[in-house]
Amino acid sequence: MGLLGVALTVGGLLLVPLPGPGWLIVFAGLALLATEFEPARRLLQFGRRQLSAWTAWLGRQGVVVRGAVLLGTAGCVVAALYAVALVVGLPGWVPAGLVSRVPGLDQ
């Protein structure tokens, strides 16, 4: 279980900057590690407290702050997708007209 927990945690951390369930995978890996190791259990509890505090704080904020968080998150997702497209390239089904308007991307 320990080795699987480490693999999930490290794999999740690698996925955090990309769109998708990176943090969910990190927490799943920590949950597995927490079944065997006390430091992992404490780290998992800390992560849960931080997530609860963040959620509660965001719930108390107005529409402007929530919108700013949403736009910031969307910007991070777009930046991560752009970085992946630069490194890996684009699939063939992406229209050429769209690619020619985005700097740095060639099909």
Q: What is the pLDDT of residues 53-101, one digit of tens each?
A: 999 999 999 999 999 999 998 898 888 888 888 888 777 787 777 777 7
Q: pLDDT tens for residues 28-38?
A: 999 999 999 99
Residues 14 and 16: their CA atoms lie apart, in Å, by 6
How far is Cα 2 from Cα 32, in angstroms, rounded to an integer?
Answer: 7
Position 82 scores a pLDDT of: 84
Query: Residue 107 pLDDT more than 70?
Result: no
Span 20-46, average pLDDT:
90
